[in-house]
Amino acid sequence: MTRRSSSQKFHHRWKRKPLAMLLICFCLATFVLMESQCSRIKMPTFISRPFIQKPKIAFLFIARNRIPLDMVWDAFFRGDSENIFSVYVHSRPGFLLNSAMTRSAYFSNRQVNESVQVDWGEASMIQAERILLRNALMDHYNERFLFLSDSCIPLYNFSYTYDYIMSASTSFVDSFADTKEGRYNPNMHPVIPVENWRKGSQWAVLTRKHAEIVVQDDTVYPTFERHCKKKSLPEFWRDHPLPADGSKEHNCIPDEHYVQTLLAVS
């Protein structure tokens, strides 16, 4: 731990414990006046054991609107988890996730402000991920960044999940070379060389270092926006005209390639 962060942590504790601070001031004043009395006043134990903020996990929800399973998460967060996690929700613009829209205090007012309209399978999904990471990185205690959809549920209890995620010093990102014809667009070269083209699940856990790489990326993301589009499916042909030559379209599935490819490129 650095000197700076330890003093920050100490400050943090001071802010949260005005009562404890009052107690100490009282004791110091009394000490001058009545030395013998003061020795009997029990000093708060945190003076000898400075408060150490444990690293937090940021739960990043990509939701359409509200979180339908908020009460399942509420039960998960309740308990020993105090102050070692944070919640951020990306919902569509115009929707307000306030206390009327959720039965769980953990989600109330946890919506990020500058949300975008997400079209499933489009680059806007990546943008939502980047907005969530940007917000979560502002809290310096967030050490792991966990992407979740509005239909995810926890399978284990909080302490098991916390220990499991924190015990690994690296991100949980599955990744394999995606050689499937038509997904890699040669126009992405040279920003994305074909040997760095990777696929995996969108639902990953990133370390702080990797989260920073994603937020700071200003080359790979624009390349995805430009050259990686969803292939129009028959059910959407009414809305989007059928391309003249469907084989020329690249069905990139940006959300399942972006983080993996970016980390490979970096």
Residue ranges in contact with ligand NAG by CB under 6 A: 112-113, 135, 156-157, 159-160
Least distance between ligand NAG and beta carbon 148 (Å):
18
Q: Strand pairing partners for 58?
A: 86, 145
Please answer whether residues 131 and 90 qualify as being in contact, where contact means their C-beta atoms are separated by less than 8 angstroms: yes
> Toward ligand NAG, which CB reaches closer, 37 or 157?
157
Least distance between ligand NAG and beta carbon 157 (Å):
4
Tokens of 122: 């489009």
> Toward ligand NAG, which CB reaches closer, 102 or 223?
102
> Does residue 109 sit in helix, strand or coil?
coil
Q: Strand pairing partners for 60?
A: 88, 147
User: Which positions ≥6 away from 250 have C-beta within 8 Å?
Assistant: 182, 183, 184, 185, 227, 228, 229, 231
> Toward ligand NAG, which CB reaches closer, 24 or 165?
165
Pairing of strands 176-177, 142-149: unpaired
Least distance between ligand NAG and beta carbon 113 (Å):
4
Least distance between ligand NAG and beta carbon 110 (Å):
8
Tokens of 95: 């929707």
> Toward ligand NAG, which CB reaches closer, 80 or 174?
80
Least distance between ligand NAG and beta carbon 208 (Å):
18
> Toward ligand NAG, which CB reaches closer, 107 or 197?
107
> Toward ligand NAG, which CB reaches closer, 112 or 262?
112
Q: For residues 155 and 136, give the distance between their C-alpha atoms in angstroms, rounded to a whole number.
A: 23
Please answer whether residues 24 and 45 qualify as being in contact, where contact means their C-beta atoms are separated by less than 8 angstroms: no
Least distance between ligand NAG and beta carbon 145 (Å):
15
